[in-house]
Structure 1
Amino acid sequence: MEPENILTTSISAAFDAVFTMSSDWSRMLHLKSTGFLQQTDTPVTDWLHQYIPQEDQARVAHMVREAVARKQRFRLIHRVRTANGGTGWALSSAVPVMDNQEQIVEWLVGSIDITESHRASDVTRTARQVAERQIRLYETITASTPDLIYVFDLNYRFTYANKALLAMWGKEWEAAIGKGLRENGYEDWHANMHEREIDTVRRTKLPIRGEVSFPHAVLGRRIYDYIFTPVFNEIGDVEAIAGTTRDITDIRNAEMKIVESENRFRNMAEGADVMINVTDGQGTNVYFNRLWAVVTGRTIPDLLASGWLDLVHPDDKIRIERLLAERTEKKLRWKSEFRIVRADGSYLWLLLQATPRFHSDGSFAGYINSLVDITDIKENEQRKNDFISTISHELRTPLTSATGFVEILQARAVSDGDQHAASMLTIVEKQLDKMTRMLHNFLNAARFESSNMHMRIERFDISILLHELEEELKATVTSHILSFKSREIWIDADKEKIAQVIHNLISNAIKYSPAGSAITIDCDIINGQLRLTVEDYGPGIRLEDQPLIFTRFYRVRNTQTKYVPGFGIGLFICSEIVKAHNGQIAVESWPGKGSAFYFTLPVA
């Protein structure tokens, strides 16, 4: 048979293209094709570039060189440029044609078009790679989570379980997968419950959720929250059930402790003789104990709905509302005294102590307010203040008369040249003056307590007042070095009472600081307010005493002060006077080095 007929027969029988190559593959002699590759009847020298895409040229050339050197046939899958200009895939088989001397005369090559099958293989391979990557991803996720993740088939057998679930069972994969609930340690009631749930999910095609306890292989019995979710096939039928389970033992234990704590709090609150209420972070009342209803005559639901501010005495209400707003904004602990109306229409005094609450993350949770009935205390204080006021008034008249008589006698003794009598009368005069000041302080304290202190407000320059005090004190004080520093600052205040505050602070500095030491009186404008400071070099005040020294009758007790006379009322009066002027009074002290008392007032 002629070669032409051989090629034609070969193409139709087995190959999509047949071509012959020179012995060294330098030329393609001719090519016949069914339409797969471009035919040629004339020799082609650049066949590699014409028929083979660049990315496969090196590989094809290497295979050809190896085959020529070994005089062996070869088979190769490679890309080709197709007759329509595209790129396809071919399976080429090359056979050397030998002469009698076993030398290669030419090569006969047949190529089969495998483009479609190769593309399908690529898709399959890509899909398999994607699936494998997804499986690795899912395995990584499910292995790293503490949650239990698993899959049931419709016969209640486990087809998948992550590492956390296997650890809970205390089993290896091979011993657990393909097994049912009971084989993996579930009690009958537990297995029956899950089997019913699996049937329900399969029937309704909806997830189902539950909570159950189960013995952990290491941790003992734990509480779990679980969800069963349907897995659908391509036609929408349920083909499996996926499950996730979370250990919520710690959460449930914490919730139980919270409930127990709340119950203990309510039991204590309901049995206490203290009115207690609780607010949330937004200031809404969430709890009132029963004593509120007993005292106010309102029901607990009414109190929760309307609160308690409308029960406050009109004279106290604005102050309490302001304090409530300021302290709540800053989330501070605070306390105050005020009156509320009883069920019978009378008023009782309460001491409110408000304590802020915070969540475990530090966020504000609201206030716990405790209110103690101090009506008896306030009434006793009023009776005491009335008594002090009465006694003070009654004693001032004889003291004034006695002081007048002493002055007359002192003048007579001087004129008679009786220096001894004059000296004794001077001592009596000082004692009478001390007693007069003491009565004056008690009377002022009583007036402040009963809110009867009269204020005579006028505008004056503080530097002029300090100059007057300097002239007065330097004439009488020889034991200390008084240094006054002032500047022109105008204020609206009761000049006499502000002078009393300054005089009291200087007197205290003289009493408590060593003889011969310096006492500095300075004033300036700080943050838009007058600030007047009296600084000494005395023993100082301990940190724990500092918040209390402005309270009534409080005195610092230590070896340096125990022999200093006083009733602990002077600083209380100073504090009340400053507060009445919308100012503030405070102390900065350094034990062993001295103290600086100061007060601030609005400038005019």
Structure 2
Amino acid sequence: MNPGDPQQMNYSDKKSDEVSVREHGQGGEALLLSVLDSSLDIIQAFDAVRDQSGGIIDFIWKVQNKKGLEQNGDVIGKSLLQHNPGVMLSGIFERMVKVVETGIPSEQEQFYYHEQFKDQWFYQALVRQGDGVTMTTRDITAQKKDHLETLAAKRRLEAVINVSAIALAKLVAVRDREGIIIDFIYEWLNDAAIRMGIDKAGKSLLASFPYARISGLFGLMVKASETGAMQQTELHYAAEGYDWWLYYKIVKLDDGVMFSCDNITERKQSEQALQEQARLIQAVTDVMPDMMSVVALPSRDIIYANRDALVTLGFDDERVAISYTERRRLFHPEDLPALEKYYQRFISLTDEEENKVEYRLRKSNGEWVLLSVRGKVFKRDAFGNVSQVLMIGQDITERRNRERQVLELKDQIAQKAKDQLKQSESLLASIFKASPVGLGFFDTRGEAVLLNDEMRRFLPTGMMPSRDKKNVDRWLAFQPDGSRIKPYDYPGTRALKGDPILPFLEMQYLGDDADPIWARVSSIPFLDDKGVVLGFISVITDINELKKTTEELKVSERQLKQLLKQKDDFIGIASHELKTPVTSIKAYGQLVQANLERAGDHKNANLLARLNGQVDRLISLINQLLDLTRVQEGKLQLHTEDTDINELLHERIEEIQPTTSSYFVLHPEPLPLIKVDRERIGQVITNLLSNAIKYSSPDTLITIGSATQANGIRVSVKDQGEGIAEQDQQKVFERFFRTTDGHTHLAPGMGLGLYISAQIIHRHGGHFTLESKKGEGSVFSFFLPFENTGSSIA
């Protein structure tokens, strides 16, 4: 603005006028200023400053009360935008302009953080006054902060309440004319209550949940509201589609209640299950034939005992705690040291280990019984020390008596058997002596009761090998696969356990002066009528010569395999060396035949033609031998390419048709291209066509077919020959195989064609099939998959 502007001069005049009024206190203006100064709000008046086009570009202070003076200083006649530029950024200037232009007052809360004001809130009212505005401003920062903090606290409280897993609800009492509570209205619920299905804000409690009155919940809510005393209860709510156990806490809040509701169904079910389990355990332990008790340490007092334990100990079953002093008088004096060690062992026992003891106990009737007691750690204190142990005791008196009787009886039987065997030893010795194998009978200690001479050769000490500690190294035992056996698994030892060793184990006997002797050893337990082992019988067969013969056969077999390999190598080398000269002979023969025909010597030309035919057969045989060698050495490689099998069938039929009086009929189906070794598959087709010609009568029909299957293609060749015997059909694909039907002289060959063909198809991932009946011809078919699963070179 230009300093010489007339308006600028007016601003100074207006400032002088206000100062004069304040100093001299004259007239109504002085009274007005006095009233304004008494206000706690900031009251200011501004005149608009306009540009040449009449647009408001600023405001000039015209009036302000003392509160404004304290805040802004002496600003009368000064520019608003120069003194408080923040009014532009905060939107205050824009509202002032709008009030002047429209005459519509404005009032709102304003957050201001410019100039000397730091994060303050104001309540601001604007009213048009002439060509300007009057602004009333009240500082509400403290109230605003209190309000915001209250809102934040409320939101935090709501978040805490809503994050709670327990349902919370506030209800307002509904009273009749006499003031009696007749219902409650849901006023507020948290999220957990809504998840429980109590989404009833604004609705009646009894209308929504009538069972609340029947269950007593409504009565507790009335009591809490009337008396102010907190009420709590557990109840089974089984109505309105619920079947829950609920835990309620109810407190008075205003004219109503606040309650928390926790679903404790799982806990109640668990408690019921535990109670049922406890009753079951008590019933089971009471009917158990064993003594069961829980003993406290270090006092050794019984804190729990089942009925059988109490009856056995002779105590009243109404008493639970039984002191060790009371029990100690029941123990046999000789067993007290063992019991002392038993209790001491619990100090170092782990939770997984088991403690055992046997001791004699005097029952209430004065009878002594033998108990076998097993104990485990049941509970530890806060320091990890054993505080309780679980003990299970069994009365083994009768069992021990039976065992003693059985042992005595066994010894009597064994002694009787030994006496009887000794009486008949001379008779048995003569029988055993004639036996070419070692025979012997041994008692339960492993001592020989009766041996023949052959057995004495192997057991000079008369003891079974595993019990003969001084000579245990004389015997080595082997499984049929040649693996070593430990002495505790020798035939005699296992026979004493009731395990027969049949048919035999191979063992090696190492004598003092002789070479090791191989023997087959068999042992079977000797049992009485009750199945008790009284001893065992062993048979030892000298197989030393048999072993030598077996080894010699193995050597011969290895030599034979080596010779066969040398034979195969020779065939491969010979075939390879023959192929070049025979090919040359073929070429020269054809050349000579052509020259003779040109010379008119047809007789000799025919002889050369026959010679060339024989050379062709020789070349075919050489090629088969070379293929055989490649197959056996795994060197038959495939060079695959996309191939039209129908086209290949046409080619091979056209090649072979001029050489035979038989005629071919092809029934092809449309086939997709397939990736195969074209030359090798052509070799297979030629072989099948040649075989069909060989084994069929002249001038007969040979039918060839092709078809697509689910995952590949199939080619078949059908002849009208004699067919193949059933016993030969599984062998026709073996190398060098020739049928046994007496017609092989009609079709000379080495029996390699089908073998090599089958190997080629197999390398493509396919397979051969044969259908044939004697006198009805044969059908040879091969299958090739679309995806080659064999090995090939692309």
Aligned pair count reads 445
Aligned equivalents of 2:64, 2:172: Cα separation in 1: 59
Aligned equivalents of 1:207, 1:507: Cα separation in 2: 93
1:113 aligns with 2:137: yes
1:293 aligns with 2:306: no
Residue range with higher mean Cα deviation, 276-285 or 380-389: 276-285
Matched residue SS, 1:242: strand
Q: 1:131 aligns with which of 123, 141, 154?
A: 154
1:252-299 deviation per Cα after TM superposition (whole angstroms, max 9, x unaligned): 344334333433443344345432335799998553222223322234
1:152-551 to 2 correspondences below 5 Å:
153=173, 155=181, 157-160=184-187, 162=189, 172-176=200-204, 179=205, 181=206, 184-186=209-211, 189-191=214-216, 194-195=218-219, 198-199=222-223, 202-203=226-227, 205-220=228-243, 222-231=244-253, 239-277=255-293, 286-300=303-317, 304-306=321-323, 310=328, 311=331, 313-314=335-336, 316-317=338-339, 320-321=342-343, 329-331=350-352, 338-343=359-364, 346-352=367-373, 369-386=391-408, 388=410, 431=440, 434-435=442-443, 437-438=445-446, 476=458, 500=467, 510=477, 513-514=478-479, 517-519=482-484
1:146 Cα deviation (Å)? 6.2
Aligned partner of 1:288: which letter? Answer: A
Q: Which runs of 5+ in 2 are unaligned?
A: 1-13, 22-27, 37-41, 51-55, 175-180, 380-385, 450-456, 461-465, 506-521, 528-532, 534-794
Distance 1:354 1:514, change over 3 A: same
The corresponding residue for 2:561 is none
Q: Select the structure of larger CA radius of gyration.
A: 2
Aligned equivalents of 1:535, 1:215: Cα separation in 2: 69
Distance 1:285 1:8, change over 3 A: farther
The corresponding residue for 1:452 is none
Contact 1:51–1:81 (8 Å) recurs in 2: no
Aligned partner of 2:482: which letter? Answer: S
Distance 1:477 1:509, change over 3 A: same
The corresponding residue for 2:676 is none
Distance 1:390 1:19, change over 3 A: same
Q: Which runs of 5+ in 1 are unaligned?
A: 98-106, 234-238, 359-363, 411-419, 442-474, 479-498, 522-532, 539-548, 573-604
Distance 1:501 1:324, change over 3 A: farther
1:375 Cα deviation (Å)? 0.9
Contact 2:354–2:375 (8 Å) recurs in 1: yes
Aligned equivalents of 2:265, 2:498: Cα separation in 1: 56
Q: 1:564 aligns with which of 523, 541, 547?
A: 523
1:169 Cα deviation (Å)? 7.5
Aligned equivalents of 1:509, 1:339: Cα separation in 2: 48
Aligned equivalents of 1:440, 1:284: Cα separation in 2: 56
Residue range with higher mean Cα deviation, 266-275 or 334-343: 334-343
Aligned equivalents of 2:213, 2:437: Cα separation in 1: 103
TM-score (norm 2): 0.43
Contact 1:18–1:32 (8 Å) recurs in 2: yes
Matched residue SS, 1:36: helix
Aligned equivalents of 1:224, 1:355: Cα separation in 2: 40
1:376 Cα deviation (Å)? 1.5
1:33 Cα deviation (Å)? 2.4
1:40 aligns with 2:74: yes
1:60 Cα deviation (Å)? 3.2
1:59 aligns with 2:91: yes
Distance 1:115 1:295, change over 3 A: same
Aligned equivalents of 1:241, 1:298: Cα separation in 2: 57
Contact 1:269–1:276 (8 Å) recurs in 2: yes
Distance 1:264 1:503, change over 3 A: farther
Aligned-residue CA RMSD (Å): 6.0
Contact 2:356–2:373 (8 Å) recurs in 1: yes
Aligned equivalents of 2:112, 2:481: Cα separation in 1: 113
Residue range with higher mean Cα deviation, 21-30 or 278-287: 278-287
1:79-128 deviation per Cα after TM superposition (whole angstroms, max 9, x unaligned): 6899998867363536475xxxxxxxxx5342323114x64355335524
1:378 Cα deviation (Å)? 0.5
Matched residue SS, 1:114: strand
> What percentage of residue pairs aligned between the two structures are identical?
10
Contact 2:246–2:261 (8 Å) recurs in 1: yes
Return the structure number with greater relative CO, CA threshold 8 A, min gap 6.
1
Aligned equivalents of 1:299, 1:332: Cα separation in 2: 32
Matched residue SS, 2:203: helix
